[in-house]
Amino acid sequence: MRWAVAGWNVLEVLGFLNGLVASAVVILAFSLMAYTLTYNFRHPVARRFALLSALVMVVYAAEVALTRVDSAQAADRWLRFQWLGIALIPWAYYTFSNGLLRTTNYRTGPRRRWVSGLAGALSALSAGLALFTHGLVGPVVYAPPIAFLQAGPLFRPFALFFALAVLLAFHNVWKARSRCLTETSRKRMTYLLLGFVAPGIGTFPYLIALGKSTAGDTAGVLVFLLSILGNMAVAGLLVLMAYTVAHFGVLTPDRVVRYRLIRFFTRGPAVAILVILAIQTLPTVERILGIPRDMVLFSVITGVIVLSQLVLSVTKTLVDRAIYREDREEIAWLRELDRRLLTSSDLRQFLENHLTSLCELLRVPAGFVASVVGPDLVLEAVVGPPGTREQILAVHDWSEGLNRALRERAGPGNGANGHSPPVPMERDMPSIHHYPPIHHQGFWIWPLVERSARGKETVLGVLGVQARTETPLLTLEERQLVAQMVDRIGLALMDRRLQKQVFVALRRIIPGIDRIQAMRGVVPYATEDAEVPLGDLLEPSPIHNPEFESWVKDALSHYWGGPKLSQSPLIRLRVVGRALEKADGNPTKALRLVLGQAIQRLRPDGKQDLSTPEWLLYNILEMRFVQGRKVREIAERLAISESDLYRKQRVAIGQVAQILAEMEQNDWEALLEVDEENGPRRHPTEEGSP
């Protein structure tokens, strides 16, 4: 009996739908393999899952190809190629479960390794028998749209081996789930346990077991219906497995893993599946519309890709809500920070645009903006003809001109001097305080000064444009526009200054964040002999605190005694604890010993020299903190300015902090080789100083 509805052959329609679903499974399996190898390659469980996905892809790729073959010989080749995946599935199943069990600190003994090796040998033997002999599977039965190989004499033993391997693997996963200690890990292992049946359901050759009972349209319809439902279940369960495996071997937060996985699926496999479905249905559309297939193909593929990206963009907010849930507000702040932070190139482009507008307004050819960094002026942006930058850098007294402009400031609203009132701002917000321009070295320069809500003024930098005359003669409109430009440039420098503090804070907290992420990957499963001291692993070290460098500076300032040394958080350093024995059990003395060792590691080889650059940092540390000399005396002896001394001192303290961090993280005993007798000493003239 031929099954037909409204002129459609039901068997052919179901075969067509089965091919579509199988194509979707192929795309999913390939995508999962590619994703896992990209983001989780270092973890053995992820690599074995990638192998399992590759074998599923082989099985379903052959099934898709069978929908297009037109001869029994071609069907035989593809069916035997399909057995390359089917035969290796039992071994991949078992090795995957073993790797999963080992993630719970379970010791897989020789018995499991022996079983794994035996499963691999039997799977390889089965693949060879299926590819080159009729011992496992026999001749092809080709009855379009159904084609399968007949069962060989060894098929039943293989089916028993397949079932036994799957059951043993399932037992391993169940055991791994029972060893999970937290609700989250148990939930993920449950997902994995549910998804674990997918490869077995989708790859076992049921048609060979059923044999001739599949003859006839009624049996064929039933076979295709079950195949479609089974393949859809396989697709869903594979995604469930992938979600769990995606968390193995990664140090990023769960929300990042979820977001990355969902965005990958929606932009990759989902779009690919839609394109494949569109291509598969093109012959029908071609007959209906009566236009060439190429035109339909290009139009449909373009439409699917473009519309899918539009849908993803529109639904991005909904996806974020589904992923982040209670973290939505914090994620919104992080994204807002990413959008609003000014990088160095952003600031330069902003300043150059405003400088160009200002130069055009004043009808001058060149201008520049410089920011104050410590005691120096740093050129941020320059506009003008070639050679302008060199001309500006050739002037060495810009700081003197800036100081003169600050001294000669005019009262508010003094239009004769080109000064205009500040732009009104909220009272609790910092603003740019307006100073009149002065003539200096052929330029009109404006000081850029930040005024806080409490009235404190901070010099941000200087704005300069090439002067037309000795005294700026500006119209009222020019003064107003110049005031706006000065405000914008000053606010840009002010915002950049604040944002640099954000970057400094990020550099300080990143090591702590990395350590937290590494600790997330350490799951304290029960084990027979725990060789790793979890107390050392979980106890935070002061080196990961954002204030670590500040603590180092305080401890050095009271190097020979004082509350900043005796009550320093650095006493909690493990390297200080290891030094207690050499310090007679005195924590303060132990900390001083460790600080002295860190300073000594900055000492270059050879005889001490006060004039060479390589000795500068060590000399500053020794004379400033160990010998306790005055800043002016040190600056004179080292032939540097006091401002330069302070700047170099910050660098030296940062180096000591870095060395302490290395001492904390490396072999502590080997690093503590200096005792009080060989360590740094006070200067002979400073013996009585505190």
Closest CA to 95 of 127, 128, 121, 126: 121
pLDDT tops 80 at residue 535: no
If one compares 302 and 1, the residue with the highest pLDDT of the two is: 302
Does residue 291 lie in a domain region?
A: yes
Same domain, 455 and 478: yes
pLDDT at 121: 94
Tokens at 366, concatenated: 């060149």
Using an 8 Å Cβ cutoff, are 555 and 548 in contact? no
What average pLDDT does this structure show over 519-530? 43
Query: Cα separation of 378 and 325, whole Å?
Result: 45
Coil/strand/helix, residue 457:
strand
Query: Cα separation of 63 and 231, whole Å?
Result: 11
Does residue 601 lie in a domain region?
A: yes
pLDDT at 83: 92
Query: Cα separation of 667 and 662, whole Å?
Result: 9
Does residue 506 lie in a domain region?
A: no
What average pLDDT does this structure show over 572-577? 83
Does residue 517 lie in a domain region?
A: no
Tokens at 138, concatenated: 């026999």
Same domain, 270 and 246: no
Three-class secondary structure assignment of 285-348: HHHHHCCCHHHHHHHHHHHHHHHHHHHHHHCHHHHHHHHHHHHHHHHHHHHHHHHHCCCHHHHH
- pTM for this predicted structure: 0.55
Same domain, 54 and 190: yes
Residues 193-204 as b/e (b if ≥16 CB within 10 A, e otherwise) read bebbebbbebbb
CA distances from 181 to 108, 187, 520, 524 (A): 19, 11, 14, 8
pLDDT tens per residue across span 176-213: 888 877 777 788 888 888 888 888 877 888 777 665 55
Domain that holds residue 110: 4-251
Closest CA to 503 of 652, 371, 337, 345: 337
Tokens at 439, concatenated: 């003539």
55-69, 506-520, 531-545, 548-562: which range is least confident on average?
531-545
Query: Cα separation of 313 and 411, whole Å?
Result: 54
Q: What is the DSSP string of 601-653?
A: TTPPSSS--SSSGGGHHHHHHIIIIIS---HHHHHHHHT--HHHHHHHHHHHH
Using an 8 Å Cβ cutoff, are 576 and 587 in contact? yes
Same domain, 118 and 17: yes
pLDDT at 106: 79
Cβ within 8 Å of residue 669, ≥6 positions away: 578
Closest CA to 365 of 346, 342, 388, 393: 388
Q: What is the CATH number of the domain that holds 107?
A: 1.20.1070.10
pLDDT tops 90 at residue 588: no
pLDDT tops 80 at residue 690: no
Same domain, 361 and 430: yes
pLDDT tens per residue across span 232-257: 888 888 888 888 888 786 766 677 78
pLDDT tens per residue across span 115-149: 999 999 999 999 999 999 989 988 888 877 788 88
pLDDT tens per residue across span 335-344: 666 666 667 7
Closest CA to 93 of 82, 101, 105: 101
Cβ within 8 Å of residue 37, ≥6 positions away: 46, 47, 50
pLDDT at 227: 83
Report the DSSP pairing between strands 457-466 and 438-440.
unpaired
Query: Cα separation of 48 and 363, whole Å?
Result: 70
pLDDT tens per residue across span 455-484: 777 888 888 888 888 877 777 887 888 888
pLDDT tops 80 at residue 221: no
Reported confidence tier of residue 513, pLDDT bands at 50, 70, 90: low
Report the greatest alpha carbon distance in the chain.
Answer: 114
Coil/strand/helix, residue 681:
coil
Segment holding 665, helix H or strand E? helix 642-665
Same domain, 554 and 633: yes
Reported confidence tier of residue 228, pLDDT bands at 50, 70, 90: confident
Same domain, 388 and 296: no
Reported confidence tier of residue 91, pLDDT bands at 50, 70, 90: very high
pLDDT at 87: 92
What average pLDDT does this structure show over 649-654? 87
- Which of 194, 226, 251 marks a domain boundary? 251
Same domain, 29 and 168: yes
Say how far residue 16 (Cα) sits from the centre of its chain: 42
pLDDT tens per residue across span 424-442: 444 445 667 677 788 888 8
Tokens at 678, concatenated: 């060989």
Does residue 509 lie in a domain region?
A: no
Does residue 531 lie in a domain region?
A: no
Three-class secondary structure assignment of 392-443: HHCCCCHHHHHHHHHHCCCCCCCHHHCCCCCCCCCCCCCEEECCCCEEECCE
Same domain, 310 and 352: no
Q: What is the DSSP string of 343-392?
A: -HHHHHHHHHHHHHHHHHHHT-S-EEEEEEETTEEEEEEEESSTTHHHHH
Report the DSSP pairing between strands 146-151 and 457-466.
unpaired
Beta bridge partners of 382: 368
- Which of 311, 337, 363 marks a domain boundary? 337
Query: Cα separation of 608 and 107, whole Å?
Result: 57
Does residue 518 lie in a domain region?
A: no
First to last CA, the chain: 107
Tokens at 426, concatenated: 């909220």
Same domain, 8 and 152: yes
The rounded mean pLDDT for the chain is: 77
Between CA 499 and CA 502, with CA 500 as vertex, the angle to 5 degrees is 60
Query: Cα separation of 549 and 599, whole Å?
Result: 14
pLDDT tens per residue across span 242-297: 888 887 867 666 777 877 888 888 888 888 888 887 777 766 555 666 666 677 77
Same domain, 131 and 97: yes
Highest mean pLDDT: which range of 46-50, 216-220, 300-304, 361-365: 46-50
CA distances from 21 to 55, 231, 252, 542, 559 (A): 17, 6, 33, 56, 73
- How big is the chain, counted in residues? 690
Same domain, 297 and 237: no
Report the DSSP pairing between strands 8-9 and 443-451.
unpaired
Highest mean pLDDT: which range of 30-34, 303-307, 493-497, 523-527: 30-34
Q: What is the CATH number of the domain that holds 477?
A: 3.30.450.40
Closest CA to 316 of 383, 238, 263, 241: 263
- Which of 337, 365, 388 marks a domain boundary? 337
Query: Cα separation of 540 and 331, whole Å?
Result: 26
Q: What are the φ and ψ backbone dihedral angles of 521, each rounded to 5 degrees?
A: -80, -5
Count up the domains in the chain and report the number: 4
Does residue 352 lie in a domain region?
A: yes
